Amino acid sequence: MMSHMHAVDVLLVEDNQQDAELTIRSLKKHKLANNVSVVEDGAEALDFIFCRGKYGERDINHPPKVIFLDLKLPLVSGLEVLRAIKQDARTKAVPVVVVTSSREDPDVKAAYELGANSYVVKPVDFESFTEAIGSLGLYWLLINQPPK
């Protein structure tokens, strides 16, 4: 769960610690968990991304390769975080995968409109969950080519 100050592959924005643990375990299973950072609310997520507050030493020019973003977050909501990322020229190229527990989420449409790159429902079944997270990690970290 430790993170490099400089090279972060995955930023996991998740307030549910169990979900966070399961996500990291899934990534680990696929050997993708080397550089995973976890923040627990929207405000911290914004600090991390824009290198503010306790993340002031971070270099904004080295953003995470992918952000896994839950929509239901304390303090600042997932949609607000998404909006901030996509409105800033420095960060808008960072892929954001919206991860949520519910198909019923009324914010799905809003998320896509704000520029979410994917929208994924977290399955209850652990195997399916591992599969889903693994696929996402593989895709965004290895297959997807970020702009230079």
Partner 1 sequence: MNVRSRITLLFVLLAVVPVVVVGFLAYYTGRQSIEQVEINHLVSTNLMKSSELTRWIEAYQQRMEELAQRPLIAQYSAIVVASDPSDPAYDLARLSLEEDHLKPRIKPRGGFTEVSVISPDKGIIMASSDEMQEGKYYANQRFFAEGKLHTYTQGVFYSLPVQQTTMMVSTPINDKKEKLVAVLAGRLDLRDLSSIMSAQSGLSQSEKTYLVNKSNFFVTEPYSGEGYALKKTVRTEGVQAGLSGNDGVAFYNDYRNVPVIGAYKWLPEYNMCLITEVDQSEAYAPINSMAMTMLSIVSLLALIVLAAGFFLARTITQPLARLVAGAAEIGRHGHLDRKVGTEDKDEIGELSRAFDRMAMELKMTTVSIDELERRIHERTAQLEAANRELEAFSYSVSHDLRAPLRAIDGYTRILLEDYQQLLDDEGKRICSVISEGAHKMSDLIDDLLTFSRLGRSALNPSNIDMEAMAGAVFQELTTAQSRKRIDFQVDSLPPAVGDPALLRQVWVNLLSNSVKFSQKKKRAVIRVRGEKSENETVYSVQDNGVGFDMQYVDKLFGVFQRLHSVKDFEGNGVGLALVQRVILRHGGRAWAEGETGKGATFYFTLPHQGMI
User: Residues in the site for partner 1, rule: CB under 8 A?
Assistant: 16, 18-19, 22, 25, 72, 100-106, 122-127, 129
Tell the smallest beta-carbon distance from residue 18 to partner 1 (Å). Answer: 4
Smallest gap, in angstroms, from Cβ of residue 69 to partner 1?
Answer: 15
| Cβ nearer to partner 1, comparing 25 with 86 | 25
The nearer residue to partner 1, 25 or 83, going by C-beta atoms, is: 25
- If you search the block for the tokens 């995470």, which residue do you land on? 64
CB of 97 to partner 1, least distance (A): 17
Q: Scanning the structure block, which residue is given the tokens 């914004």? A: 46
Q: Nearer to partner 1 by C-beta: 17 or 144?
A: 17
The amino acid occupying position 131 is E
CA distances from 125 to 5, 54, 82, 136 (A): 34, 36, 27, 17
Q: What is the closest distance, in whole angstroms, from the C-beta atom of residue 104 to partner 1 in the complex?
A: 5
3-state secondary structure of 118: strand
* Residue of 16, 21, 49 whose CA lies nearest to 130: 21
